[in-house]
Chain A
Amino acid sequence: MKEAVTIDAKGIFYRELNAKLRKVVSNGTQKIELRNVYGQRYIGTDLDKPVEIEIFGTPGNDLGAFMDGPRIIVHGNAQDGCGNTMNNGEIIIHGHAGDILGLSARGGKIFVREDVGYRAGIHMKEYQDKKPMVVIGGTAQDFLGEYMAGGILILLGLKLKEGESHKANFIGTGMHGGAIYIRGDVEEFQLGKEVSAAELDENDHSVLKKLVGEFAYHFGYDAGEILKHKFTKLFPLYLRPYGRLYAY
């Protein structure tokens, strides 16, 4: 195994930075540290090896887009489109993430310590052994899990104050697969028309235990404490939400 490589990304255009990444990964390097990252896009996009990339700073949009295997750890905030159409791998963000987190992801895991923007988990889908999983420590904006066709989305709301609840509306609009777990209460009016809330069963608890466990491990929380709280499960009412729309 090769030693860890450190790249100073200061002042480097994303194209050059990604070319460097490609080169060091093809050399067999398994651990890379990116220092001074200031908004460079598409980090990790063209990588399909199980390499670990640690980012210090603020990566730009489409972090890990189309990614197939690497593990990215961000010490800072991620922007929009993080994990876009991701196939496999892991993204761990010690901070916030922007809009459309995990758009159309088909696999891999994303952990965000703080809050996320609009439409997180939109159109995630699953297939056979591929199942995207997203855990958000903070809260989310509207349209969380919109059009979701598969995978698991967990919203923990750890930073909500006593008596405060999630503000997102239109949660799960158009959802037709997968599951959303929300720690704390959500009101009926916050939900999209295509989802309903349910109590958790044994399987749900084991899913939560595993993923919240991983989340707690990454960010130094006590999983047991988090899991003590009540969770609500949102599930799609219809596998074919728009099946009755048409005249044949």
Chain B
Amino acid sequence: MKTYLPPKFIVERDDSRCIRCEVCVNQCTFDVHSYDTEDAELKSHEENCVGCHRCVVFCPTEALTIRGNPLDYRENYNWRPEVIEDIIKQSETGGVLLTGMGNDKSYRIYWDHLVLNASQVTNPSIDPLREPMELSTYLGQKPDRVEFGSHGLTTELPPQVKLEVPVMFSAMSYGAVSLNVQESLARAATEMGTLWNTGEGGLHPKLYKYGDNTIVQVASGRFGVHPEYLNVAKVVEIKIGQGAKPGIGGHLPGEKVSAEVSSTRMIPKGTDALSPAPQHDIYSIEDLAQLVYALKEATNYTKPVAVKIAAVHNSAAIASGMVRAGADIIVLDGLRGSTGAAPKIIRDNVGIPIELALASVDDRLRQEGIRNQASVVIAGGIRNSGDVAKAIALGADAIYIGTAALVALGCTLCQQCHTGKCAWGICTTDPWLTKRVNPDIGARRLSNLLRGWSLELKDILGGMGINALESLRGNRLHLRGVGLTDTELEILGVRMAGS
């Protein structure tokens, strides 16, 4: 069938700069560039271009420019090009539209409507360059009260996990991303004193040595879950939902289940890894409690158990149930949470913004007097240390980053993760492509990112006259809203700027 889809991008090749080195041909995984030996000329199949910029970055003579195709449909606010093209795609395939990464629609980003405070005159700011600043965060259940004896604390604490920086790497499974990506994450987490998350694809033996900085996930597919896997980790996370696809399961296509992936997922090579939508032993809060305690029993109460849900309408009530079910850490993944593959219609339309979910969950747990019983971690579209500081002030204990970490490794959000053809070698298991992420360099890039954010967080804290992140946590007086309605301000628990 002839496709009616127009090319999304135009490839401009400056012939006077092109040296026919064919780097673009070799780097492109979508077959855009080809070399015509007869004419000694490079040709472009622009209809294949996804705009990932791999060729642009690697062209040694900067001969390439990728531009959006200026082809304009007649202006129509309702029937935008994306809408038209989605219909074309479905009329040509008859399937569910798949996509990768997070929701790219214009829902309000509340971080951009929240501003932070700083000290002026009436209390001094602190210079983090010369004074100690504390970013340490402890995840885990905190007791209702503590008692001290002559030798310090006498209350027995439930298991706690210390983070040097309140930013962790979000769950990305081996299979969705490559082993080199996971190794980069694991090494950076170890170096920076934070945690990375296996996702639900099991843990490769090569990464067991990073266990002290590893969160292992138990999801509906239970792939690669066995006693050793649970015991090597610092935290065990039950995955109920994911921000990019609340309420639905996942299908890792057989093509991505290579011999190596098969060994960590513990399923035969080439078979689809199907994660059912629900966990079939969890149909209620009571059932969740059962799995939480099954995992605590399986790990002899030595590590916190986290429960991750997608942020949805009733998150606050659900979160209360999760805490009462024994979760030591609750994770909320918002509307903009990313994925290696999800139905586009789900990604773009289901769930609620993480800022609102966080504020309402934190409120609810405080009102019920159980906020101390679990740490709150949020995920879903956190872009920089400003977002992190605002999230902490809204009530989060720590933040997961997924997309930001992948961008550090080269991702340009071309949203082709589901194809398995990632030209940056990130979201693929093709051995030829995965080599594009070198774990030595990847770990350094990720550590650099976290270091940069840590320095900025200290600057932000210092400016507020605070020397510990703990003093900012849940301190919404340090936030003000800009351009928000009364209802939005009320839900966020934040006052209007100027008031």
A interface, CB within 8 angstroms of B: 14-15, 18, 22, 41-42, 45-46, 48, 61-62, 65-66, 68, 80-81, 84-85, 87, 100, 103-104, 106, 119, 122-123, 125-127, 130, 146-147, 149-150, 174, 176-177, 239-248
Alpha-carbon separation in the docked complex, A119 to B276 (Å): 13
CB of B226 within 8 A of CB of A22, answer: no
Given known contacts A46-B300, A248-B418, A125 and B267 CB-to-CB distance under 8 angstroms:
yes
Query: Would you list the 8 A-B pairs with minimal beta carbon distance, nearest first?
Result: A247-B95, A247-B93, A104-B222, A127-B266, A42-B297, A66-B298, A45-B297, A87-B226
CB of A85 within 8 A of CB of B222, answer: yes
List residues 287-346 of chain B with CB under 8 A from any CB of chain A. 290, 293-295, 297-300
CB of A248 within 8 A of CB of B268, answer: no
What is the size, in residues, of chain B's interface with A at 8 Å between Cβ atoms? 39
Given known contacts A42-B293, A62-B290, A243 and B93 CB-to-CB distance under 8 angstroms:
no
B interface, CB within 8 angstroms of A: 89-90, 92-98, 221-222, 225-227, 230, 251, 253-254, 262, 266-268, 270-272, 274, 276, 280-281, 290, 293-295, 297-300, 418-419
CB of B89 within 8 A of CB of A247, answer: yes
**With contacts defined as CB atoms under 8 Å apart, how many contacts are there between chain A and chain B in the complex?**
130
Alpha-carbon separation in the docked complex, A242 to B343 (Å): 13
Alpha-carbon separation in the docked complex, A123 to B278 (Å): 12
CB of B227 within 8 A of CB of A48, answer: yes
CB of B276 within 8 A of CB of A246, answer: no
CB of A45 within 8 A of CB of B298, answer: yes
Chain B min CB distance to A13 (Å):
11
25 residue pairs of the A-B complex, CB under 8 angstroms, read: A41-B294, A46-B297, A46-B299, A62-B281, A66-B227, A68-B226, A81-B290, A84-B281, A85-B226, A87-B226, A103-B280, A104-B221, A126-B267, A127-B268, A146-B280, A150-B268, A177-B271, A239-B254, A239-B271, A240-B271, A242-B251, A243-B253, A246-B96, A247-B89, A248-B418
Alpha-carbon separation in the docked complex, A161 to B339 (Å): 51
Instruction: Please give, as numbers and ranges, the residues of chain A lying within 8 Å of B90 by CB-CB distance.
Output: 247
CB of B280 within 8 A of CB of A123, answer: yes
Chain A min CB distance to B84 (Å):
15
Out of B226, B270, B272, B297, which one reaches A242, CB within 8 Å? B272
CB of B93 within 8 A of CB of A41, answer: no
Alpha-carbon separation in the docked complex, A149 to B223 (Å): 11
A interface majority secondary structure:
loop
CB of B268 within 8 A of CB of A126, answer: yes
CB of A45 within 8 A of CB of B294, answer: yes
Q: Which residue of A lies closest to B271 (CB)?
A: A239
CB of A149 within 8 A of CB of B281, answer: no
Alpha-carbon separation in the docked complex, A41 to B290 (Å): 9
Alpha-carbon separation in the docked complex, A61 to B294 (Å): 10
Given known contacts A62-B294, A149-B271, A246 and B95 CB-to-CB distance under 8 angstroms:
yes
Out of A22, A119, A242, which one reaches B274, CB within 8 Å? A242
CB of B227 within 8 A of CB of A243, answer: no
Alpha-carbon separation in the docked complex, A133 to B204 (Å): 26
Out of B95, B226, B254, B297, which one reaches A245, CB within 8 Å? B95
CB of B225 within 8 A of CB of A66, answer: yes
Chain B min CB distance to A81 (Å):
5
Instruction: Please give, as numbers and ranges, the residues of chain B lying within 8 Å of A147 by CB-CB distance.
Output: 274, 276
Q: Which residue of B lies closest to A68 (CB)?
A: B227
- Tell me which of A15, A127, A174 has the highest count of chain B C-beta atoms within 10 A of its own C-beta: A127
